[in-house]
A = this chain, B = another copy of it.
Amino acid sequence: MTGNIFTSLPKKSATEVFDILLQNKNIKIERIVSQGHTSPAEGWYDQDGNEWVLVLEGDGAIFFEDGRQVMLNKGDFLHIPAHEKHKVSWTDLGKQTVWLAVHYPS
In the complex, the answer to whether A22 meets B79 with C-beta atoms within 8 Å is yes
**Chain A interface size range:** 20 to 34
> Out of B2, B4, B74, B75, which one reaches A79, CB within 8 Å?
B2
**Measured CA separation A105–B21 after assembly (Å):** 17
CB-based contact A5/B102 at 8 Å:
no
> Are the C-beta atoms of B76 and A2 separated by less than 8 Å?
yes
Report B-chain residues with C-beta under 8 Å of the C-beta of A29.
Answer: 52, 102
Interface: A104 (CB within 8 A)? yes
Whether A75 touches B1, Cβ cut-off 8 Å, given contacts A22-B52, A54-B100, A100-B54, is: no
**Other contacts beyond A4-B77, A5-B77, A54-B100: 15, CB < 8 A:** A1-B79, A2-B70, A3-B77, A5-B75, A5-B76, A6-B74, A7-B75, A21-B77, A22-B52, A22-B79, A26-B50, A26-B106, A27-B27, A27-B104, A102-B102
